[in-house]
Structure 1
Amino acid sequence: MERPTLQGLFQLRQEEYLRVSPLALFVYDYLVTFGDEVTFVWTKPKSLGTVLYFLARYPAFVDLMLSLVTPRLPVDQCIALDHAMGWMFLIGIAVAEIIMIMRVWSLWGGTRFMTIFLSMLTIATLIAGVTVLGLSRMSLTFVSMRGIAPNMSGCYPLGSNGAMSVDYAILMGFEAITLTLTLVRCIRHSRLRSSHLINPSSLIDLFIRDGVIYFVGLFAISFINVIMLMGNSQLDAIAIQRCLHSVLASRIFIHLRRSTYTTFMPSSMTLSHEMHSDQVELRTLSFAHTACSGTVDTSQYTRCEGGG
C-alpha cells in the first residue's frame, strides 16, 4: 500500500474523531443544561430571544449528526450533502454570533453608534463569509473511498481546502473585535467599581465573564482552523466550532435568564406583572419578561429596582 493511501486512511480516522467528539460534547452539555432550559426557557413567556435560542440550540444536533453520515455516502450524495452542510453550519454559527453580538450591544448600553457599528460589522462579516464559502465549495472535489480501500464505502475530499481558511480568518476577525469591545467595557467597569462609583452588579459581571471566556474560546478554535487549513490539510475543526457556537450561545441565554429571574423576580410576582417589562428584556438581552418596574441601563451600570 502506497504512502498517499496510508495517509488518506489516517486522515479519515482523524476526521471521524473530529466529528464524533463535538457530538458527544453537545449531547453532554444538553443533558447538563436541560433542567435549566425547562425552567428558564420552556416555562417562561416566549419572545424573540426564545426563537434565537431554539435556532442556535436544536439545529446543531441535526448538523452534527449529518456530519457523521456524510463521509459514508456515495460520491454524488456526499457532494450534495457536504455543500448543504456548509450552508447549514454557516447559518447556525451566524445565529449564535447574533446572540453574542447582541450581548455586546447590550453591554454598551444599546447606543445609536454601537447599534450602527455592530449592524454594519455583522452584515459585512456575513456577506464576506457567504462569498468565500460559495467559492470554496465550488473548488472542492470528492473521490470514492474505494479508490483508497476497496472494502470501504463513502467519499473523501481531494485538493486543498485552503480557501476555507479565509472564512475562518473572517470569523476570527469578527470575534477579535467583539472580544476587544467586551474587554474595554470590562476595564471600564472594573475601574468604576474599584472607585466605588457604581454598585456591584451580578448581571454586568455575568455579561463580562461570559463574554470574555466564550469569545476567547471561539477565537482560539477559529485560529486552529486557519492553521490546519493553511497547511493544506483536509482536516478541520468545523464540527467542533459548530458545536461550541451552539453550546456557548445557549449558555449565554440560559445564564442571563437565570440571573434575570432569580435576581429580579420574587416568587410572589404574577405573570401579568411580567408582561410589562419589554425594555428590561431588551437591555439585559435575556429576552425574559422580567418583573421590574424600572429599567436596566447598562451604559450607566445601574440595576432595576424590583418593585410591585
Structure 2
Amino acid sequence: MVTRLCLDRRPSKRSPPPYWKKGQRHFFLPKPMPQAIPDLVSDMWELHRSNYVRLSAFVGLVRNHLITLSDEIEYVWKSPKGPITYLFFLLHPKDPLFYPLELHRLVDISLPIGQTHEVDSLQFNFFCITQRRCRRFIRYEVSTTGIVIQAAKIMMLIRIRAIYVGNKPITALLVGLLLLETGVHIWLIIHGEPVLHNPATTTRHTVYRDY
C-alpha cells in the first residue's frame, strides 16, 4: 500500500516541487488534510456510481435545453437585448459545453501502478506536478458550476426585489445572505483538495465537490 505521497510530506530542499515557496504554502495550493487510502472494491464502486449520477444529470440537462428551446427562441432571441439577455446568452449554453469535460475524470493525470511506491526525486516531482494539475481541475469544475448557480441566484434576487417593491429590509437581508454564501463558496474553492483514491484505480481525484 502506498503510505507516503507528496501530499503528506514536504519535499526536501534538493528537489522542491514548483508550488512550494520557502517555508510557505502557495495561496491556491494549501496543504491538504491527511486522507486514508480506501480499499479497491469500495473505491471502484464509488467511482462507477458517481459516473452514473453525472451521466444521468447530463442527460437531464440536455433534455431541459431541448424542451425549452422553442420558448427560448420566442422570448429571448427575439426580445429586445439588454444586460440580462446577454447574461443569459453567456451562461445558458455553458453547462452542455463544459459538462462533457467534467465527465472525463482522469484528464491525463493518472499514474501507472508501482510508480508511486518509489519516492526518488524524479518520480516524486512528477507525482507532485500531477497532483497540482488535479487540484487546479477541481477548482475549475467547482468554479464553473458555482458561477452559474450564483448567476441564477442573482436573477432570483432581482425577481424578489420586483415582487417586494419598496421593502428594503427583505432585499438587504437576501443580499447579505447571498454575499455570505458566495464568500463561503470562495473559501471552499481555495481550500479544496482532491479526494485520495486507491492506487490500483489509477485515479487521483473525483470531479464534483471535492472539498
**Structure 1 moving runs of 4+ over 4 Å:** none
The yes-or-no answer on 1:20 pairing with 2:55 is yes
CA apart distance, 1:133: 2.8
Q: TM-score, normalised by structure 2?
A: 0.62
* Map 1:78-227 → 2, pairs under 5 A: 78-135=134-191, 137=192, 139-142=193-196, 147-149=199-201, 154-157=203-206, 164=211
Aligned to 1:275: none
* Deviation string, structure 1 residues 183-206 (Cα, Å, up to 9, x no partner): xxxxxxxxxxxxxxxxxxxxxxxx
Q: Is 1:74 paired with 2:109?
A: yes
Q: Distance in 1 between matches of 2:105 and 2:138?
A: 7
CA distance in 1, matches of 2:108, 2:203: 5
Query: Which amino acid in the other structure matches residue 100 of structure 2?
Result: M
Give unpaired runs (5+ residues) of structure 2. 1-37, 111-129
**CA contact 2:195–2:204 (8 Å) conserved in 1:** no
In 2: Cα distance, 1:72 partner to 1:6 partner: 22
Match for 1:8: what amino acid?
Answer: D
Structure number with higher relative contact order (C-alpha < 8 Å, ≥ 6 residues apart): 2
Rounded Cα–Cα distance in structure 2 between residues aligned with 1:140 and 1:20? 21
For structure 1, the residue ranges without an aligned partner over 5 or more in a row are: 165-308
2:139–2:189 contact (8 Å) kept in structure 1 = no
- Count of residue pairs the alignment pairs up: 151
Deviation at 1:32, TM superposition (A): 0.5
2:60 matches 1:60? no
- Give the corresponding residue for 1:11: 46
Code of the residue aligned with 1:14 in structure 2: it is R
Percent of aligned positions that are identical: 20
Distance in 1 of aligned mates of 2:196 and 2:39: 15
Structure with the larger helix share: 1
C-alpha change, 1:25 and 1:51, in structure 2 (3 Å) is same
Q: Give the Cα–Cα distance (whole angstroms) in 1 for the partners of residues 57 and 108 of structure 2.
A: 21
TM-aligned CA deviation for residue 45 of structure 1: 0.7
Contact 2:54 2:103 in 1 (8 A): yes
- Name the Cα RMSD after superposition: 2.5
Q: By how many angstroms is 1:69 displaced?
A: 1.6
